Amino acid sequence: MNKNYFQIIRGGINTTFQDQGRKNLYHIGIPFSGAMDNRNYLLANNLVGNKSEAPVIEFAYQGPLLKYFGKKINIAVTGDVNFKIKRNSNEINGKCYQSITIENGDELDIISTNKSVYGYLAISAQLKLKYQWSSCSINTKANIGANEGKKLEKKQEIDILKINKNLSNKKLNYTDTRIEKIRVIKGTNFDYFSENGKKIFLEKEFIVSKLSDRMGMRLEGSKIENIINTNIKSEGLIKGVIQVPADGNPIIMLSDHGTIGGYPKIGVVISADYDKLVQLTPGSKIKFEEVNLASAENLFRLYELETQNLISQI
């Protein structure tokens, strides 16, 4: 049998293929997309010897249950994820941040993410995927990317074009930490809000609402009062922008966000904290802290160094 593939027995809640995303398409209304937690995405690929920017399977909360058919292959799971490998009648508890060799007939059951939202599964192979604008990232809103832009579901197959031959095992000693303090830069409409509203934004805790997905994260807490206008003329958005609509509850734009919007921008999450932000589960507390541009740039350099350092340890 020549064909190597995974059979999807259970799709999971929000399972998609993701890579580095799509550039230069905001002006026609297509967002960046790509893996939500960039560091865990890069680590997953490096653990199986893939190129850093290869496609991976991203899952949220509950992951997929996959049965493998074919020659030996390496996989790696990153994030804070609870998963099992079922071989014959044995069950092995899976460990994140290491490559695992799986064989014909094995089942990979990604049961859940623990205190986080997203996890990543990298496969040491070239997958058969459709690319649109040089990316296979699935955008379920516009139905763009691999799998006709739809999330993965049971009975589908993940076809492998070519298995990477090197089956050496790799490991990283790393535990993903959780933070509830998210650093922000003041937004372009910061002065639309009352003194008390600004104080609430920078001093009070908010709770991540259930109405959060790859497009955006809604927060609940004390209302942020607008004293100028609850609408602005629609203009461009980027990921990390925090908009406050008329109801006074902030919404943070995430990777699949609408490209333009008409609500005042109170702040923008700094690039260094984006990976941590997206991992906050509904019900989590979140608190914002203001930093200036120079600090944000320094913090990003540190974040990048740390990521590169982790990759070099693999």
Binding site for another protein (CB under 8 A): 23-30, 32, 132-133, 141-144, 149, 185, 187-188, 233-238, 240-241, 258-261, 265, 268-271, 293, 296-297, 300, 304
Residue 296: in which H helix or E strand, if any? helix 293-313
Amino acid symbol at 259 = T
Q: Give the Cα separation of 225 and 83 in Å (integer).
A: 44
Nearest distance in Å: CB 270, another protein: 5
Shortest gap between Cβ of 89 and another protein (angstroms)? 46
Nearer to another protein, 43 or 125 (CB): 43
* CA–CA dist 14, 12 (Å, integer): 6
Q: Which is nearer to another protein, 30 or 56 (CB)?
A: 30
Name the minimum Å distance from CB 163 to another protein: 29
Q: Name the minimum Å distance from CB 205 to another protein.
A: 22
Q: Which residue, 149 or 221, is less far from another protein as judged by CB? A: 149
- Determine which helix (DSSP H) or strand (DSSP E) holds 6, and give its type and residue range: strand 4-10
Using the minimum distance from each CB to another protein, give the nearer residue, 22 or 198. Answer: 22
Question: In which residue are the tokens 């006074």 written?
Answer: 248
CA distance 66 to 266: 43
Q: Report the candidate in 149, 148, 282, 145 with the shortest Cα–Cα distance to residue 213.
A: 282
| Closer residue to another protein, CB minimum distance, 44 or 269 | 269
Residue whose CB is less far from another protein, 51 or 233: 233
The answer to whether 21 and 135 are in contact (CB under 8 A) is yes
Q: How far is the CB of 169 from another protein (least distance, A)?
A: 30
**Distance between CA atoms of residues 210 and 60, nearest Å:** 13
CB atoms < 10 A from the CB of 152, how many? Answer: 24
Neighbours of 5 (CB within 10 A): 16
Q: How far is the CB of 71 from another protein (least distance, A)?
A: 34
